Structure 1
Amino acid sequence: MNDSPGWASPGSAPSDDQEGTGIPRPSAPADDKGPADQWSRDRPPAGQWSPPSTAGNGPAGPAPAPGRAGSTGGGAGWGRGPAAAKPGVIPLRPLSIGEILDGAVSAMRAHWRPVLGISLTVSVISQILIVLLQRYVLPEPVSIDPNAVGSEALRQATDSMESQLSSMAPATVISMIATLLTTSVLTVVISRSVLGRGVTLGEAWAEARPRILPLLGLTLLLSLMNVAIMTVALLPGLLLGGNGGVALAFLGLVAAAVVLLWLMVRFALAAPALMLERQPVLTSLRRSAKLVRGAWWRTFGVLALTYLLILVVTMVIAVPFGVLAVALESGGPAEFLSGSTDFGWSFLIVTGIGEVVVATLAYPFAAGVMALLYIDQRIRREALDLDLARAAGVPGYEDPRS
């Protein structure tokens, strides 16, 4: 491990066939005692260890190096005393869910210049493109006759759905690219903030740029996998048709949703692994699955809480901007309530500003949670805190091999 912006060199993470060889296992965290989080006797309990202290009868020895057998006695610095080392935004020990969320916010505050620089810039550019597409490129929505029945009503509903999907596709692609750019840069910023080191936007971009194409490949692969699963689940019902086909399609939709949720959580840490370990796409997927194994529900809980907070922030910001946009529209609220979709510039600009504010806050928060969740799982599984302490220059954590 080195102290480069990504602080993890290729191959620093253990491979699947090397698991358990020479890797210290930290003591079991209080909030995660699953079978996958097996800990070594060489490590103290969570929340009860700290960097070696010079208090007492002389300096304590260095922290146990990965792969070295520590003393089974009560060594100095292993008792209830000083807190864990905290060179940056998080303490170097297994984290609670609250500490992960707080660490993401702390990183945004401590490094607001590069965080706001990349998130605001990307949000403004992407929203300008989306507004121009909505105004000049995207087709008008298909009108639906409320009195239509039978096959005509089904045809109109299908045409309307196809029109909405085609209209959403360009904005979805733009948002995906914006998310890629911000995630790549912000992951570097978060990794530096864990070590207590600052980074300029130019340095973060230089570090992240070589990983953007692999990150794009990872995103496309996951998207194709989702589309394939949904197609396989819905196709039999659509081909069958009739009431039986509708019921079969509904069951397929439920089954696909369960599978996609399981896979989303299983591969949630693939992007941080790809960025910080410099891993290829398929290897990053395997790394994520390995880190999440035995901690699926905890990972799901962190992600669910994160997206719930983002939803709350989105509603708090978007609703006032939406009300203002409707009030400024030439037709007023009456035209909006009539179902008209021919919005003017005032509506598009005001709602666009609201979207920029939301994205500027949501992008770095989500990226920070993902990166810190990845770091937390590696601390629990692979004693990454020792490498982080060495990279940060914490006294007493010098590499004994050096």
Structure 2
Amino acid sequence: MNLTSDRSLGQLLDTSFALYRAHLGLFLLLAAGVVIPVDLIVGGIGLGQLTAGYDESPSAAETLVPSAVSALVTVPLITAMQVRAILAIEQGRTPTAGEAVREGLDVFTPLLVVVVLAGLVTILGFLALIIPGIYLLTHLAVAAQVVAVEGRTGGEALRRSFELVRGNAWWTLGVLLVINLLAGIVGGIATLPAVGLAESSDSALPLLIAAIIVEPFTLSFQALATTVLFFTLVARSTGVGAADGPSGAGPGTAPSQDDAFRAPEAPWQPPGFTDLPPPPRPPAGWEPPRPGS
């Protein structure tokens, strides 16, 4: 599988869904291994959702704390592990959960630093004006993938993300909106029964259980699709052609080694002149006449 191929939005989604279906068990296992302990510790114990009643209007802390933990821990860790698994798949290997977890943990610390830097820069952009915030959010969208795939860290990873998105900002923003909209719709529909059950039983526990069940599906797909977006942007930045089918392999892939060293074709000549011998050389010591002589 060649992931580094230029794709349209439809091809990007096709590739993402194809990978998701083919390795659903692995991706869900990796995501659940992060979501379950984090949600139980933060939501169940920290916010008391294991025993608390249902609250129609939660406080700011009850909303911000889970969101911050998700942005700083859950999503980056899932992304790191899935990227390592996807790289193994691209190389034709069958990744194991243990391998993906180990390699994901290896890059988590530098990835967390980049995520924090990107988050702070984006927040400052939103505090200044909405437009700068959206601009920064879009241009830093693949910073985590830069760390996990290319090994860049800190400001270098942020600059690399900017370089990849430059010239494709509107398209990247549209892709991000579609990815998050799909995940939001699926997550919202899947948690509706839990909301009704929480209201009728006056308990927050159904919401916690629903989050633990639904988030591995939505977060793993978002991480996967954003990783495919990263490879698409890499292809566009290096001039690799369009993908042909979900795998991304086809006439748009990089030229083969034989093609790279193929001799150039002979220049065009008018008909009838191709077989003429070259003109004779001038005699030794001959020089063209000078003007006015």
- The TM-score, its normalising length taken from structure 2, stands at 0.74
Q: Counterpart amino acid of 1:380?
A: R
Partner of 2:69: 174
Q: 1:310, 1:362 within 8 Å by CA — same for their partners in 2?
A: yes
Distance 2:140 2:215 in 1: 23
Structure 1 moving runs of 4+ over 4 Å = 398-401
Q: Show the counterpart of 2:279.
A: none
8 A contact 2:107–2:148 mirrored in 1: yes
User: Which residue identity is paired with 1:357?
Assistant: I
Alignment of 1:106-255 (within 5 A): 106-129=18-41, 130-135=43-48, 164-176=59-71, 177-231=73-127, 233=128
Aligned residue among 183, 187, 190 for 1:314: 187
Gap change, CA 1:196 and 1:327, over 3 Å in 2: farther
Superposed CA deviations along residues 358-383 of structure 1, whole A, max 9, x for unmatched, are 21111111111111111111112215
> How far did 1:192 drift?
2.8
The answer to whether the 8 A contact 1:95-1:376 is kept is yes
Once the two structures are superposed, the pairs formed by residues 257-336 of structure 1 within 5 Å of their partners are 257-329=130-202
* Cα separation, 2, equivalents of 1:384 and 1:206: 31
CA RMSD of aligned residues (A): 3.1
Q: Residues 189 and 199 of structure 1 are in contact (CA less than 8 Å); yes or no, is this contact kept in structure 2?
A: yes
Cα distance in 2 between the residues matched to 1:379 and 1:217: 26
Alignment of 1:358-373 (within 5 A): 358-373=214-229
Measure how far apart 1:389 and its partner are: 10
- Alpha-carbon contact 2:125-2:136 (below 8 Å) kept: no
Counting aligned pairs with the same residue, the percent is 24
Q: Does the CA-based 8 Å contact 2:126-2:132 persist in structure 1?
A: no
Q: How many residues align?
A: 246
**Could you tell me how far 1:314 is from its partner in structure 2?**
1.4
Q: Which whole-Å CA distance do the structure 2 matches of 1:384 and 1:274 have between them?
A: 22
Distance 2:77 2:240 in 1: 26
CA distance in 2, matches of 1:368, 1:383: 23
Residue 375 of structure 1 aligns with which residue?
231
Kindly indicate whether residue 99 of structure 2 is the aligned counterpart of residue 99 of structure 1. Answer: no
Going from structure 1 to structure 2, the CA distance change for 1:115 and 1:323 (only over 3 Å counts) comes to same
Distance 2:212 2:49 in 1: 20
CA deviation vs aligned residue, 1:121-161 (integer Å, no higher than 9, x gap): 21111221212222289x99xxxxxxxxxxxxxxxxxxx9x
Gaps of 5+ in 2: 242-246, 262-293
Looking at structure 1, the residues matched to 156 and 137 of structure 2 have their Cα atoms a distance apart, in angstroms, of 16
Q: Quick one: which amino acid aligns to residue 295 of structure 1?
A: N
Matched-pair contact (CA < 8 Å) for 1:131–1:348: no
1:95/1:196 CA distance change after superposition, 3 Å = farther
Shift of 1:230: 4.6
Give 1:197 shift. 3.0
Query: 1:321 and 1:125 mapped to 2: Cα distance?
Result: 20
What secondary structure does 2:47 align onto?
A: helix
Note if contact 1:187-1:272 (Cα within 8 Å) is conserved in structure 2.
yes
**Which structure 1 residue ranges, 5 or more long, are not aligned?**
1-86, 141-159, 234-255, 330-346
Going from structure 1 to structure 2, the CA distance change for 1:229 and 1:291 (only over 3 Å counts) comes to closer
Work out which structure has the larger RCO, using CA pairs closer than 8 Å and 6 or more positions apart in sequence.
Answer: 2
Q: Please report how far the alpha carbon of residue 194 of structure 1 lies from its aligned counterpart in structure 2 after TM superposition.
A: 3.5
Distance, in Å, in 1 between the alignment partners of 2:49 and 2:206 is: 17
Helix, strand or coil for the counterpart of 2:59? Answer: helix
Output the CA distance in 1 between the equivalents of 2:177 and 2:49: 36
Say whether the 8 Å CA contact 2:191–2:207 is kept in structure 1: yes
Distance 1:284 1:362 in 2: 25
**TM-score, length of structure 1 as denominator length:** 0.55
3-state SS of paired residue (1:135): coil
Q: Per-residue CA shift, 1:173-213, capped at 9, x if unaligned?
A: 33231112111101112233334432001111222222111
Higher helix share: 2
